[in-house]
Amino acid sequence: MQQFNITMNDRLLAGRSGQTILDVALANGIEIPNLCHDSRLKPTGSCRLCLVDVQGQRAPVTACSFQVQDGMVVETDTPDLRSLRKTVLRLLFYEHRGSCTTCDDNGECRLQQYAYDYQLNTDVLDRPPLPSVPNYTSGNEAIDYDPNKCIRCGRCIRICEEVQMDSALTFRERANQVEVSTAFGMPLNESTCELCGQCISTCPTGSLYERAAKERGQCKDLVRTTTTCPYCGVGCQIDLNVNHRTNQIVRVTSRVGCVPNDGNLCVKGRFGMDFVSSSKRLTTPLVKQNGTFEPATWNQAIELIAQKISETKSKYGADAIAGLSSAKCTNEDNYIFQKLFRAVIGTNNVDHCARLCHASTVAGLARAFGSGAMTNTIDELREAECIFVIGSNTTEAHPVIGLAIKDAVVNRGAKLIVADPRSIDLVRFAHLHMTQQPGTDVALINAMMHVIFSENLHDKDFITERTECFEDIRAVIQSYTPQQAESVTTVSADQIAEAARIFAEAKTASIVYSMGITQHTTGTDNVLSLANLAMLTGNVGKESTGVNPLRGQNNVQGACDLGALPNVYPGYQSVEDEAVREKFEKAWASTLSPDKGLTIIEMLHAIETDDIRALYIMGENPALSDPNLTRSRKALEKVDFLVVQDIFMTETAEYADVVLPSTCFAEKEGTFTNTERRVQLVRKAVDAPGQAQGDWQAICQVAAKMGSPMQYENAAQIMDEIASVSPIYGGMAFDRLDPVGLQWPCPDRDHPGTKYLHRGKFSRGKGKFHPVQFIPADEQTNDEYPLILTTGRQLYQFHTGTMTRKSAVIDQVSPTGYVEIHPGNAKRLSISDGDSVEVATRRGRVTTMAKVSDIIEEGWIFMPFHFAEGPANMLTTDALDPIAKIPEFKVCAAKITPGQ
């Protein structure tokens, strides 16, 4: 990269090779009007508004596409340029009909702003709109396209193609009939559109707008609060646009340039906020009396909780009480929750749903590397030479990370290897797709290592200098030939060998995985295998490499970091380590239990044996999310005393004795930690409904009633305490988190945070190889249950749907659950697409709709788990990984029969 000196309007500015004049101008606060430019897109220079004079050029050039050169002299604002631009603007206004007075985009629209800046004559403004005729967005709940306001800049079409890579849009017709359209003008939801709303985000006028936001407040009157998306672990920065007259979130936007999402969002972040102002929100504490909920005051409810917990403790001991903390809540909420259990109640029985998603990651990566988190940063994926995605449907479950992967492949020449039993969307971009049978990942990865080792492609220096126990795995991987793996995984030996070579020969190779790896009885083994593969090829501790588990929930990383786990205090400090325990006893002025607590599934099983008598659940929904639901629900029914603190009356809350109404992310201050270890701010944008209170505030009241007051003025103060007890968060403080957050480990206030882990040295010193043998899945198919059922998620819904299913946009595209079945199997069972079918396993049966598709291989079926009607987890097994205690959601034996 070369540094250039540029003179702009007599100012001397610094620029770099590859930058355009507009880039340099904007970076230095010099405004040049522009309408077809978006830094996320390749420049087209089509609107001609950004014309500037460059010394030595005969005519003005377009600043958005003209690259800077050393010594360049630029004028951006001369009378001639102004009059030129005015003419251009007048022409643009001939495309535009309608009045700013009644337009939603008033205050945000660029065309409006320039009309003012350049004082256009009123003859071109406010021309009456043409009557509306149906277009590709008619009837769509998410997006509204108004051709009257369209200036044909093409940004929507380009972003859909270049960033989202969906190519749903095009211009149609020619001359003065040009309009934006889908192919054949088909309704948006029938096209390839994923409802990301990127097209709205780039539209410079009010032409594309959120349909539901219309007439609910003009942009000029909306107040924007930047906060962190409450859905997945990507941690997109979103701006909640609030109309304070109605206390409602009108629309969600995101700023171009923000980290990690650069103004891009997915359908959930952009259109999934209806839940905040849903009339179904809990607004008052509820106490169950004779089987029905009665409203209570906070005082009554807290008193009851404190009394019951104290009673249970004195009768059965502290270990008869257990708590489920929440990956949806803030770091501060989680810290206070586990502190209540450890310091006030006196037990380590705290866990949360990370048990069900990435417990095996935490266990596996801690053993291999010493730290159980994503090693590298999302943005580094863009520069990787090879990306190996295994067991992650990235474009659906972590859509904005999917964008980075697609960018790496399409624009930067990365090679993508996908290993997934289903033909997920990423396969469109892959060099190689391996469809391994669910539950055979260890065999696949061992065989890849076999090829790498026997073809001498491993990184000997890295192995010698940075790792230990390599000898232990040598014999194991030598015994896994690709031919043998083929018979186990159904992936051809040639494909395995090719994947191994692509991976090993790349200078930088990143592994990306998710629940397809972790949710197995061999989850920890799977993770260890991936760690072996990365170390064997020297792909850890460097930029654009690493082992990258994508975390599911917005704050599942943070809930783990803050000790909502039964074996560690905040910062992964073992409860069994005496020195650590003493430190926490001192910090919390309390005596702490030296015994590890129970994990989620163990808690539920302990209820059956009367070992757990009281359960406190904050923001989780095990009655829908846990495996083998019939058994889980029985436990919730049986437990003596159940407290549920949530924003909705969830399937779980129905079982509670006391329900406390909480505030949601949009009503509280705090932090979430995203999947790349980035601690990010959560800010209050709207007022909470009724008497709903913050989660940590409620817990502090319980503690106070139990005689151990915990007092904090605000979330920032809690973070200061976290920093003082947890070295990886040592330098975290609210005043340092704006605007891009900080990635842990961040040991002190001067530390800039850590982009990628294990640089020069692993957290545990040397990386450790673990020999891993293939063990078949716990449940095998037989004559009665001949199909393999695997479960997962889809783009539009999130987890148990408590939040997403309140969105009208999402309901329109994803109204209900289904089971995917291969056309071959469907035919033999006389099942057609859309039929009602019954899916059964050894544990239960559900009725759902058949989706006949070759996205899935023969013999395997797939169900998303979001839907309370036909819940997939009625079917899944609760067989556990022996180390991480994660259930095998991804494999069980099933059968399908046609419904009535």
Partner 1 sequence: MTVLELLGSMGKVTPGDLIPILQEVQNQYGYLPQGVLLEISEHTIIPASRIYGVATFYEQFHLEPRGKHIIKCCRGTACHVRGGSTLIKDIKNELGIDEGETTEDLQFTFETVACLGTCALAPVMMVDDKYYGKMDAKKVKTLIAELRSAVKETA
Binding residues for partner 1, per CB under 8 A? 157, 161, 167-174, 181-184, 191-192
- Between residues 47 and 373, which has the closer beta carbon with respect to ligand FES? 47
- Between residues 91 and 178, which has the closer beta carbon with respect to partner 1? 178
Which tokens belong to 864? 């998303």
Residue 416: φ, ψ to 5°:
-110, 125
Q: How far is the CB of 190 from ligand SF4 (least distance, A)?
A: 12
Q: How far is the CB of 77 from ligand FES (least distance, A)?
A: 15
224 vs 601: CA distance, rounded Å:
41
- Between residues 34 and 361, which has the closer beta carbon with respect to ligand FES? 34
Which sign, positive or negative, has the C-alpha torsion 404, 407, 408, 412?
negative
- Between residues 19 and 167, which has the closer beta carbon with respect to partner 1? 167
- Between residues 168 and 389, which has the closer beta carbon with respect to ligand SF4? 168
Q: How far is the CB of 745 from ligand SF4 (least distance, A)?
A: 23
With CB under 5 to 8 Å by kind, the binding choice for 49 among ligand FES, ligand SF4, partner 1, none is ligand FES
Q: How far is the CB of 162 from partner 1 (least distance, A)?
A: 12
User: Cis (ω within 30 of 0) for the bond into 549?
Assistant: no
518 vs 525: CA distance, rounded Å:
9
Contact 331, 719 (CB under 8 A): yes
With CB under 5 to 8 Å by kind, the binding choice for 37 among ligand SF4, partner 1, ligand FES, none is ligand FES
Q: How far is the CB of 169 from ligand SF4 (least distance, A)?
A: 5
- Between residues 64 and 706, which has the closer beta carbon with respect to ligand FES? 64
Q: How far is the CB of 23 from ligand FES (least distance, A)?
A: 12
Which tokens belong to 881? 């990984």
Contact 186, 69 (CB under 8 A): no
Q: Which residues of 396-435 are buried (b: 16+ CB within 10 A; e: fewer)?
A: bbbbbbbbbbbbbbeeeebbbbbbbbbbbbbbebbebbbb
With CB under 5 to 8 Å by kind, the binding choice for 587 among partner 1, ligand SF4, ligand FES, none is none
Q: How far is the CB of 496 from ligand SF4 (least distance, A)?
A: 31
Which tokens belong to 887? 């259930």
- Residue owning tokens 């900080």: 742
- Between residues 58 and 174, which has the closer beta carbon with respect to partner 1? 174
With CB under 5 to 8 Å by kind, the binding choice for 266 among partner 1, ligand FES, ligand SF4, none is ligand SF4
Which residues, including other chains, have CB under 8 Å from residue 479's CB and lie 6 or more apart? none
* Residues at the site binding ligand SF4, with contacts judged by CB under 6 A: 150-156, 159-160, 164, 166, 168-169, 180, 193-199, 202-205, 207-208, 229, 231-232, 234-236, 261, 265-266, 268-269, 398-400
- Between residues 53 and 239, which has the closer beta carbon with respect to ligand SF4? 239
CB count in 10 Å sphere of residue 91: 14
Q: Are strands 72-75 and 3-8 parallel, antiparallel or unpaired?
A: parallel
CB count in 10 Å sphere of residue 770: 18
- Between residues 182 and 393, which has the closer beta carbon with respect to partner 1? 182
- Residue owning tokens 């896994």: 480
* Residues at the site binding ligand FES, with contacts judged by CB under 6 A: 34-37, 45-50, 62, 64
Across the beta sheet with 223-228, the strand order is 223-228, 237-243, 248-253
- Between residues 160 and 424, which has the closer beta carbon with respect to partner 1? 160
HEC per residue, 749-784: CCCCCCCCCCCCCECCECEECCCCCCCCCCCCCCCC
Q: How far is the CB of 36 from ligand FES (least distance, A)?
A: 3
- Between residues 45 and 747, which has the closer beta carbon with respect to ligand FES? 45
- Between residues 273 and 592, which has the closer beta carbon with respect to ligand SF4? 273
Q: How far is the CB of 165 from partner 1 (least distance, A)?
A: 10
With CB under 5 to 8 Å by kind, the binding choice for 581 among ligand SF4, ligand FES, partner 1, none is none
Q: How far is the CB of 296 from ligand FES (least distance, A)?
A: 60
- Between residues 48 and 805, which has the closer beta carbon with respect to ligand FES? 48
Amino acid at 616: Y
Which sign, positive or negative, has the C-alpha torsion 849, 851, 852, 855?
negative
Q: DSSP class of residue 852?
A: E
Q: How far is the CB of 111 from ligand FES (least distance, A)?
A: 12
With CB under 5 to 8 Å by kind, the binding choice for 181 among partner 1, ligand SF4, ligand FES, none is partner 1
Tell how many helices (H) and how many strands (E) occur in the chain. Answer: 27, 37
What element of type H or E holds 526? Answer: helix 523-536
- Between residues 341 and 798, which has the closer beta carbon with respect to ligand SF4? 798
With CB under 5 to 8 Å by kind, the binding choice for 173 among ligand SF4, partner 1, ligand FES, none is partner 1
The per-residue DSSP string of 580-604 comes to HHHHHHHHHTS----S----HHHHH
- Between residues 116 and 834, which has the closer beta carbon with respect to ligand FES? 116
Q: How far is the CB of 412 from partner 1 (least distance, A)?
A: 18
With CB under 5 to 8 Å by kind, the binding choice for 184 among ligand FES, partner 1, ligand SF4, none is partner 1
CA-nearest of 715, 721, 718, 659 to 690 is 659
Half-sphere exposure in the Cβ direction for 132 (13 Å, CA): 14
Q: How far is the CB of 25 from ligand SF4 (least distance, A)?
A: 22
Q: How far is the CB of 157 from partner 1 (least distance, A)?
A: 8
With CB under 5 to 8 Å by kind, the binding choice for 236 among ligand FES, partner 1, ligand SF4, none is ligand SF4
Per-residue CA distances from 815 to 272, 561, 618, 796, 866 (Å): 14, 35, 27, 10, 11
Which tokens belong to 193? 């559109």
With CB under 5 to 8 Å by kind, the binding choice for 234 among partner 1, ligand SF4, ligand FES, none is ligand SF4
Which residues, including other chains, have CB under 8 Å from residue 345's CB and lie 6 or more apart? 309, 313, 318, 321, 706
Q: How far is the CB of 44 from ligand FES (least distance, A)?
A: 7
Contact 86, 53 (CB under 8 A): no
With CB under 5 to 8 Å by kind, the binding choice for 150 among partner 1, ligand SF4, ligand FES, none is ligand SF4
With CB under 5 to 8 Å by kind, the binding choice for 194 among ligand SF4, ligand FES, partner 1, none is ligand SF4
With CB under 5 to 8 Å by kind, the binding choice for 205 among ligand FES, ligand SF4, partner 1, none is ligand SF4
Q: How far is the CB of 181 from partner 1 (least distance, A)?
A: 7
Per-residue CA distances from 725 to 146, 559, 569, 587, 884 (Å): 55, 15, 9, 7, 25
Q: Are strands 51-54 and 61-62 parallel, antiparallel or unpaired?
A: antiparallel
What element of type H or E holds 720? Answer: helix 715-725
- Residue owning tokens 């992650």: 392
Contact 241, 108 (CB under 8 A): no
- Between residues 614 and 813, which has the closer beta carbon with respect to ligand SF4? 813
- Between residues 174 and 245, which has the closer beta carbon with respect to partner 1? 174
With CB under 5 to 8 Å by kind, the binding choice for 268 among partner 1, ligand SF4, ligand FES, none is ligand SF4
Q: How far is the CB of 129 from ligand SF4 (least distance, A)?
A: 14
With CB under 5 to 8 Å by kind, the binding choice for 196 among ligand FES, ligand SF4, partner 1, none is ligand SF4
